[in-house]
Structure 1
Amino acid sequence: MTAQSSESEPDPEPGPTPGPTPGGAPGGSPWSRIPGRALWSGALWNGHTAELAKATAIDVAVLAGHLLLYPTGILPERIAAPPHQADGQDPQDPQDSQHRAPGATGKARSDPALLPTEGRSHPPVLLLHGFVDNRSAFALLRRSLLRNGWTRVQALNYSPLTGDIRTAAAMLGPHIERVCAESGHSRVDIVGHSLGGLVARYYVQCLGGDARVRTLVTMGTPHSGTRAVPALAPHPLARQMRPGSPVLEELARPAPGCRTRFVAFWSDLDELMIPAEAACLEHPDLSTSNIKVRGVGHLALPVHGSVAAEIRRALSGPGPLPGAIDAA
């Protein structure tokens, strides 16, 4: 498999790296007390001060709206399974053609009035939220998929008491098996935000999930670890997102023959990724596409219309994807 690298920009002129304010002086930025490079120094270093302020304001607005929706996502989602159809598999996916159930024709619906993404039966899509979040984070993305031809989209919750990415990934497996059995599809697609992307990636790479996951899309996922999370953070999940954690070292190991296609969205103004490129996925054994999102912060990734459009494109098939999109 080949890996496509993310769009790169010229490196800034060399100079001293801004460090934290000594002792976290009163009146200074609270982020200046984070070990290592200041949380937003990367954006300042690249001359994005105004853009960062705008992205932060949008993230604050997203957070305020999400707090209102949060109670609606505490309980698990209950959805009715669509009728089982013989053409459940994606006829354009060779993996599905190999695993199609006996008697399935593999013929897609043909209706000239449908939009291009509505012309065939898509695999089920599972949405995995980030740290200390729940399924309500995907309210807009889920609606976008359902309005554009996807018939089975489910946002999942994993327990807030889960203290290990490996445990959350192991719990994901039986649910995917159940979704495949109910839908008639042999594989599913997954969209993960932040920590949810790591949970899904661990399932795919380390637990044999590549047999069940066709495409894994991640948004703002610390694939190489983020220094924004303090090294002594009390929650074990936070420590597992630090660079060099045992979980990330496991994911960096060889993964020959992995059948899942990966698409990683990363933002140049992601306040929780230090460096911002930590959300890129680079692995010699994985089929990867990295898409740079310009102008939005971490929390805005799952709700931004431009990002949703590119996620739909990524889930529609193996066609070419842009190296960057402008979401400002």
Structure 2
Amino acid sequence: MHIFFNMLAIVFVIVALITLLSYAIYWYESANLSPELMEQRFAPRRLLLALRLLVGETLLLFVSVLLHPLGWIWPAEKPTVDNSRPPIILLHGLFHNRSCWWWLKRRLKRTGYRTIYSLRLSAWHDVEILTELIAKKVDQLRLQAGVEQVVLIGHSMGGILARNYIQRRGGAARVAHCIQLGAPNGGSKLAPFAVSPLARNLLPGSTFLAELNASKLPADIPLTCIYSRHDNIVIPSSSGRLPGSREVELQGMGHMGLLYHKTAVRAVLDALGDPSA
């Protein structure tokens, strides 16, 4: 038991250091883009916000790391078929798995959504292979539920894969709504730190992102882009924007906070047309 708690402490320290480093880079980029921030850096409200972001994001990332093994051992999902609402497919981000969706799935089910599937996306596969996996799951759920369209909700890299499917791989007609949470639509300056080859696609100015952003957004389906001004992974935070979509800017939460924070959950439910949150 003593060894177990020591391991937990080590994991927590590593998570805290990662969060601190990411926010240090966030601050560096923000201050260079807006030098006037230097004059406000020691203001009490600024220090309180910084502390809240660091503590909140550390705790949420720590919980996600602890839950991560469950995403490997959980059996394949068999979602309940409900024809009254379109099926929802959840697409997680880089280095995460299905376990990161537990809270949002719970809230979606409480508001009446029953057909929810969280897809496994390997960090070591090519972006087009992952997009093909999404296409197959979309068709499978459409057939299973007897509907024409599904809803895609993607966090981080998952949001980019959702765009690739509807913009470049002919999936627009099969999607009723696409919702992004903290997707690096303009890339992220933290991408070089990722060891996965998939992260190369998220470098600002990468060939993949240039081609994706050059393709037109489908005009016949709603696309909601939810991003945080204080995202510590999508750097700069403006890279989370998606011109032409319905943009929802949040603040007071980091990258993982977009999966748990009540304001982010409410934004998802509002986008789906559910006023309750």
TM-score normalised by L of structure 1: 0.69
2-structure distance, mates of 1:127, 1:157: 9
Aligned length: 245
Residue 270 of structure 1 contacts residue 298 of structure 1 at CA under 8 Å; is this kept in 2?
yes
The equivalent residue for 1:63 is: 61
Residue 177 of structure 2 contacts residue 221 of structure 2 at CA under 8 Å; is this kept in 1?
yes
Moved over 3 A (4+): 29-32, 42-50, 75-84
The equivalent residue for 2:263 is: 306
**1:155 maps to which of 104, 114, 118:** 118
**1:39 maps to which of 2, 7, 26:** 26
**2:251 maps to which of 294, 300, 303:** 294
Query: After superposition, where does 1:232-311 map in structure 2 within 5 Å?
Result: 234-255=195-216, 257-283=218-244, 288-311=245-268
Residue 202 of structure 2 contacts residue 209 of structure 2 at CA under 8 Å; is this kept in 1?
yes
2-structure distance, mates of 1:203, 1:135: 19
Shift of 1:225: 1.0
2-structure distance, mates of 1:225, 1:258: 23
1:141 aligns with 2:128: no
**Per the alignment, in what secondary structure is the counterpart of residue 89 of structure 2?**
strand
Query: After superposition, where does 1:100-139 map in structure 2 within 5 Å?
Result: 121-139=84-102
- Seen in structure 2, the aligned counterparts of structure 1 residues 294 and 234 have a Cα distance that, compared at 3 Å, is closer
The equivalent residue for 2:147 is: 185
Gaps in structure 2 of 5+ consecutive residues: 1-19, 41-45
More helix by share: 2
Residue 43 of structure 1 contacts residue 269 of structure 1 at CA under 8 Å; is this kept in 2?
no
Taking CA–CA contacts closer than 8 Å with sequence separation of 6 or more, which of the two structures ends up with the larger relative contact order? 1
Shift of 1:259: 2.7
Shift of 1:209: 0.7
Query: After superposition, where does 1:165-204 map in structure 2 within 5 Å?
Result: 165-204=127-166
The equivalent residue for 2:180 is: 218
The equivalent residue for 1:206 is: 168
**Per the alignment, in what secondary structure is the counterpart of residue 150 of structure 1?**
coil
TM-score normalised by L of structure 2: 0.81
**Alpha-carbon displacement from aligned partner over 1:263-290 (angstroms, at most 9, x marks no partner):** 111111111122111101114xxxx111
Larger radius of gyration: 1
Q: Give the partner amino acid of 1:303.
A: Y
**Per the alignment, in what secondary structure is the counterpart of residue 295 of structure 1?**
coil
2-structure distance, mates of 1:202, 1:308: 24
Gaps in structure 1 of 5+ consecutive residues: 1-28, 89-120, 320-328
